[in-house]
């Protein structure tokens, strides 16, 4: 098993090398180990996927729960793990900095911090305050004593504000504050992805796990994308399979769904058991 420092350095190197890589989002230990078995080089947690495993909606887990979940995935795998830590679990930059320090102590190779307030009436922090929060996160990351990749997220598109100009301006400000990776989930076209990437000088993560998106790895790579994630998509696919199977049992009284899954032996082989 690589050390925490070795995994963190490997994660940094993934962003520095040429080309594009996919960083899928497991929602529990089992899915994390399957994804590692299938050859992915790094993983990222999903706040919504984890919340669903606890029977909750997204943004309904505590910071301690999110950190403990992240540590469980770190301990269960030998590839780098980055965490979706929402908005850092607080408005104040000091709270965000403490969240980053907790993430590093859990052995994470990095984390993302978003500029969403999680308040319906005012969903996005003002730019100056958002930058202060990212700067505090960066300062905390730099004080870890090892590599720690800080991703700054601009959430406009997920909150009904499809303003590419403002999104780019925010990411440029986060870049100037020291963020290592930039991320604007919800972009809907390759042209917008390319425009954003050309406007910044840091690696960019693009979300490819939203309904209706037809992005491919090849298309995103051609636009200059460094990292591709899928958010809560794998969790939703898994839950959709459960819903289909349950409806077949309850409505039709049949069990044909049992012919679809992989075998217990195959799953056990992926887990090394």
Give pLDDT, residue 195.
98
DSSP 8-state symbol, 262: P
Give pLDDT, residue 193.
98
Determine the Cα–Cα distance for residues 69 and 52; give it in Å rounded to an integer: 13
Determine the Cα–Cα distance for residues 124 and 216; give it in Å rounded to an integer: 29
Give pLDDT, residue 261.
76
Nearest to 183 by CA among 110, 98, 233, 235: 110
Give pLDDT, residue 273.
53
φ and ψ at 213, to 5 degrees?
-80, 140
Domain positions in the chain: 4-231
Residue 230 CB neighbours (<10 A): 21
Locate tokens 């497991």: which residue?
A: 26
Determine the Cα–Cα distance for residues 235 and 233; give it in Å rounded to an integer: 5
Do the beta carbons of residue 228 and residue 20 sit within 8 Å? yes
pTM for this model (two decimals) = 0.97
CA 137 vs CA 65, 66, 110, 190, 242: distances in Å = 20, 17, 11, 30, 38
For domain 4-231, the CATH architecture is Alpha-Beta Barrel (3.20)
Per-residue pLDDT of the chain in tens (273 residues, 90 and over written 9) = 899 999 999 999 999 999 999 999 999 999 999 999 999 999 999 999 999 999 999 999 999 999 999 999 999 999 999 999 999 999 999 999 999 999 999 999 999 999 999 999 999 999 999 999 999 999 999 999 999 999 999 999 999 999 999 999 999 999 999 999 999 999 999 999 999 999 999 999 999 988 988 899 999 999 999 999 999 999 999 999 999 999 999 999 999 999 877 888 899 898 875
């Amino acid at each position: 098993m690589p050390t925490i420092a070795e995994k963190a350095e490997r994660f940094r190197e993934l962003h520095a090398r040429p080309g594009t890589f996919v960083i899928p989002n497991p929602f529990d230990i089992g899915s994390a180990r399957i994804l590692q078995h299938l050859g992915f080089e790094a993983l990222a947690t999903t706040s919504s996927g984890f919340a669903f495993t606890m029977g909750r909606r997204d943004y309904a887990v505590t910071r301690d729960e999110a950190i403990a979940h992240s540590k469980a995935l770190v301990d269960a795998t030998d590839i780098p793990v980055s965490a979706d830590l929402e908005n850092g679990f607080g408005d104040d930059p000091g709270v965000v900095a403490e969240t980053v320090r907790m993430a590093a102590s859990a052995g994470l190779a990095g984390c993302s911090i978003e500029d969403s307030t999680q308040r319906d009436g005012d969903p996005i922090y003002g730019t100056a305050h958002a930058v202060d929060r990212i700067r505090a996160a960066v300062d905390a990351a730099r004080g870890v004593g090892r590599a720690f990749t800080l991703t700054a997220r601009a959430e406009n598109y997920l909150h009904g504000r499809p303003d590419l100009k403002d999104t780019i301006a925010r990411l440029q400000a986060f870049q100037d504050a020291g963020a290592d990776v930039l991320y604007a989930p919800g972009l809907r076209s390759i042209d917008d992805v390319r425009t954003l990437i050309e406007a910044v000088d840091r690696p960019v993560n693009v979300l490819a796990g939203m309904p209706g998106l037809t992005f491919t790895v090849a298309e995103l790579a051609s636009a200059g994308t460094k990292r591709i994630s899928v958010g809560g998509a794998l969790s939703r696919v898994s839950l959709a399979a459960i819903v289909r199977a349950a409806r077949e049992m309850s409505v039709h009284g049949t069990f044909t769904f049992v012919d679809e899954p992989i075998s217990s032996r195959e799953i056990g082989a992926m887990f090394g058991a």
